Structure formats: C-alpha cells, structure tokens
C-alpha cells in the first residue's frame, strides 16, 4: 500500500508538473503539487499501518484520547503548520511569485522556489535567502515585478550649474528621464532614469547609463 501510494503520488505530481504555465499559475501549482503529494503519501502510510491488527488496536486507543493528543501535537507543531498554511495563502493571494524580483527584510533577490514551509530567494551575490512562509505572510514585501515586468535603472551625476538647461537637454536626448535633484554652489545634482525589462537587468543597465551620460557630457562640451 505504501508503494502504491508513492506511485500514485509520483504520477499525480508528474501530471500536474508537465504543463508550461504563466508565473502566477506556476506558483499555485508548485504549492498544490507538494500538498497533494504529501497528502497521498500520508494517507497511504496510515492505511498500510491500519492493516496490522496490533497497530489498529493502538490506533483505537489513540483515537479515544485524540483530544489530548491533538492538543499536544498542535502546540508542538504550530510553527510548522503555520508555515504550511502561510504557504497556501501565498499561493492563493500571491504577494510574490516564482521569478519575481522582491525585497524582504532588506535583502533583494529573485524568488526561486516557494515550498510548503519555506521560500527560497536568490540574491544578486547568488546566495540563497531562505524565509519561513509565516514571516512572508505577516511582513512587508517589496515586489518590483508583480505589477510590471519593468524595473527602474538610474544613475546620479554632479554637473556644473552653468548652462544647466542645456546639460539636462543633452542628457535627455537618449529618451531617458532627467531630474535635477539638488543645487549646491556651482554644482547641480542630476538623476537620469531609464525603465528596463528583464530580471536582474537594473545593475547592468545602470552601468551602461553612466557610460552614456559620460559620452553625452563629453559630446556636449566639445
């Protein structure tokens, strides 16, 4: 019975996981697959154990005192159960999805996996930031992808305040958004922004944006 339950769980997991789906559906399916797999295996093990007469007799005594056992197990596993319930809530409400670029507790990265109890986030340093689902369900999450696939790349530069309008026009020639954010004596602080699409592209585009700013300033001064 345990072998049959394992084979059925594997078959169901394979059938659910063979589709190519959108990010929001993939997140739900991942949690659904793990929930269904664990439930089938659990039912198979319990059914196999109940075939043994000695175990069935013990199970009758356990059921007679199920209130006490349930209370003890509930207190002992409340964190685990809370994380599992939070994982299901995350799959339904989707404050974050697989592939989203998020910031949790000051750590920024891409959601790599959402399990029943933990969520794995890959940081820019290629580390794994593992967060309990219960904490994700109760803390604030900054999601840069869920509403739009674009992220903001920006670069800040100090330029002479003389002919500032001409400098701003030159920097905006590439179609970027240019803002003057500060003035101090003969120097002005200018921020150049560009919206880009793609996971983890902001740092690369920010570097290219600084190079483009330098080239535009040199061309304007020539």
Among 144, 155, 150, smallest CA distance to 207 is for: 155
The verdict on 75 and 164 lying in the same domain is no
The verdict on 70 and 95 lying in the same domain is yes
Q: Above 70 in pLDDT, residue 130?
A: yes
pLDDT in tens, 34-46: 777 778 777 777 7
pLDDT in tens, 170-184: 888 777 788 888 888
- Name the more confident of 66 and 29: 29
The verdict on 82 and 137 lying in the same domain is yes
Q: Above 60 in pLDDT, residue 69?
A: no
CATH code of the domain in which 178 resides: 3.30.70
Q: Above 80 in pLDDT, residue 142?
A: yes
Query: Which pLDDT does position 34 carry in this prediction?
Result: 74
Distance of CA 161 to the CA centre of its chain: 43
Least reliable range by pLDDT among 66-70, 161-165, 189-193: 66-70
The verdict on 105 and 8 lying in the same domain is yes
- Final residue of a structural domain among 119, 143, 167: 143
* Reported confidence tier of residue 60, pLDDT bands at 50, 70, 90: low
The verdict on 110 and 180 lying in the same domain is no
The verdict on 121 and 172 lying in the same domain is no
Q: Identify the DSSP state of 209.
A: H
214 vs 222: CA distance, rounded Å: 12
What pTM, to 2 d.p., does this model score? 0.47
The verdict on 157 and 109 lying in the same domain is no
Q: What are phi and psi of 73, to 5 degrees?
A: -65, -40
Instruction: Give the domain range for residue 76.
Output: 2-143
The verdict on 49 and 31 lying in the same domain is yes
The verdict on 61 and 34 lying in the same domain is yes
Domains contained in the chain, number: 2
- Final residue of a structural domain among 92, 119, 143: 143
The verdict on 16 and 33 lying in the same domain is yes
Average pLDDT, the chain: 76
Average pLDDT over residues 16-39: 68
23 vs 150: CA distance, rounded Å: 15
Q: Above 70 in pLDDT, residue 61?
A: no
Query: Which pLDDT does position 1 carry in this prediction?
Result: 74
pLDDT in tens, 81-113: 777 788 778 777 778 888 888 888 888 888 888
Least reliable range by pLDDT among 59-63, 128-132, 205-209: 59-63
* Reported confidence tier of residue 16, pLDDT bands at 50, 70, 90: low
The verdict on 131 and 156 lying in the same domain is no
- Final residue of a structural domain among 108, 143, 178: 143
Among 120, 123, 126, smallest CA distance to 109 is for: 123
The verdict on 169 and 217 lying in the same domain is yes
């Amino acid at each position: 019975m345990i072998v049959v339950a394992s084979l059925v769980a594997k078959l169901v997991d394979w059938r659910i996981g063979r589709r190519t789906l959108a990010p929001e559906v993939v997140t739900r399916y991942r949690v659904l697959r793990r929930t269904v797999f664990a439930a089938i295996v659990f039912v198979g093990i319990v059914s196999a154990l109940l075939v043994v007469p000695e175990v069935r007799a013990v199970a009758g005594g356990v059921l007679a005192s199920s209130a006490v056992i349930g209370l003890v197990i509930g207190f002992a596993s409340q964190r685990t159960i809370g994380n599992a319930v939070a994982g299901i809530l995350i799959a339904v409400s989707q404050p974050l999805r697989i592939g989203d670029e998020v910031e949790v507790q000051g750590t920024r990265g891409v959601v790599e996996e959402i399990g029943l109890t933990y969520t794995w986030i890959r940081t820019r340093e290629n580390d794994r930031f593992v967060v309990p689902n219960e904490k994700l369900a109760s803390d604030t999450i900054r999601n840069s992808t869920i509403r739009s696939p674009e992220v903001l790349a920006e670069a800040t530069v100090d330029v002479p305040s003389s002919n500032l309008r001409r400098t701003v026009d030159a920097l905006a020639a590439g179609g970027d958004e240019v803002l003057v954010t500060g003035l101090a004596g003969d120097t002005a602080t200018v921020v150049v922004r560009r919206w880009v699409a793609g996971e983890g592209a902001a740092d690369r585009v920010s570097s290219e944006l600084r190079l483009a700013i330098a080239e535009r300033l040199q061309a304007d001064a020539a």
